[in-house]
Amino acid sequence: MRNKILLTGCAGFIGSNFLKKIAVPNSEYEFVILDALTYAGHYPTIEADIEANDHLSFVKADIRDSELINRLFKENHFSGVIHFAAESHVDNSIKTPNIFVETNVIGTLNLLNAAKNYGESEIRFCHVSTDEVYGDLTESEPAFNELHKIAPNSPYSASKAGSDLLVRSYYETFKMDTVITRCSNNYGPYQFPEKLIPVMIAKALSGDKLPVYGDGKNIRDWIYVDDHNVGVWLAFTKGIAGEVYNFGGDSEKRNLEVIEKILNALGKSKDLISFVEDRKGHDWRYAMDYSKAQKDLGFEPSVTFEEGLEKTVQWYRDNQEWVNSLNA
């Protein structure tokens, strides 16, 4: 009998790429994909993969529904959980913080309880988090490592920090087999057009103004989504229980530099750039020290930012039908 793994949130950006990169070729496992199909979860992204592979199945469900989650665990005897599902857009968290706490904190608690009470005795719980739980850095400070204090600055990052601490507590209190991954900014195909790179590509293709927060000098470390998902799988299969693993792409870029690269790739004028009022609580810099994952897991990012951005821009140019279907 194949080990059965629950994948939450896999109709969204990172999860759908995990499905294509990791779950589809690993047919020695059975993967159950759970997604609530909110605005950022798009079933057509993964529909063909599920229909073509008998080791994949789909359940529409909301992790906030504890009764449904408990029933799912009772029926399936999962040996592992990889938890991608989350509300993730910082701007939305500033406008409507409650849904972020409900999904990211209470939803994670529901999964932890179900895994503890109804999963296999040695169930592994891999919680996919974010570098934003660490807060921000000045330009002279060293990159975040796993021992850096947690100091979130937005309702989104606070909700993710809360879920991280719950996962840690279930390892410490109940001796659950948990690992936590924290990653820098992802980019690549199938990203919902609200995040920096896809929204700038879409606006540039339409000839619209590209809104840039503040002076555009904030710094982010970028990682191609496939590299991140390789790291998640390494953490799930090789990580030590109770540990945290950082993943980064060694690609620190100012936001304005990223936007200018997109314009250059599309042959568009920099005159499209429009500076707007800065985001509330806008973190200055994120950077990830992933040396622990290199040493313990053999993780190494394989796609440079230039290569990844070229592939991403081309993907959005070739897949306007997918982008348009999000608003259908």
Q: Give the model confidence (pLDDT) of 141-199 as tens digits.
A: 999 999 999 999 999 999 999 999 999 999 999 999 999 999 999 999 999 887 899 99
DSSP sequence for 44-96: HHHHHHHHH-TTEEEEE--TT-HHHHHHHHHHH--SEEEE------HHHHHH-
Encode burial over 305-325: b for 16+ CB neighbours within 10 A, e otherwise: beebbebbbebbeeeeeebee
The answer to whether 259 and 199 have CB atoms below 8 angstroms apart is no
> How far is it, in rounded angstroms, from Cα 300 to Cα 146?
17
Alpha helix ranges (H) inside 78-224: 90-95, 97-100, 107-118, 155-174, 196-206
Please list the active-site residues: 131-132, 156
What single-letter DSSP state applies at residue 143? Answer: P
The length of the chain is 328
What single-letter DSSP state applies at residue 216? Answer: S
The helix/strand/coil state of 319 is: coil
Phi, psi of 229 (to 5 degrees): -70, -30
**pLDDT score for 326:** 79
> How far is it, in rounded angstroms, from Cα 208 to Cα 272?
7
Closest CA to 247 of 191, 287, 190: 287
**pLDDT score for 1:** 62
Q: Structural domains in the chain?
A: 3-192+223-251+285-303 (3.40.50.720)
For the chain, which residues score pLDDT lower than 50?
Answer: none
- C-alpha separations of 173 from 58, 202, 269 in Å: 32, 47, 56
The helix/strand/coil state of 288 is: strand
**pLDDT score for 39:** 80
Q: In this structure, are strands 252-254 and 219-224 parallel, antiparallel, or unpaired?
A: antiparallel
Element (H, E) at 14: helix 13-18
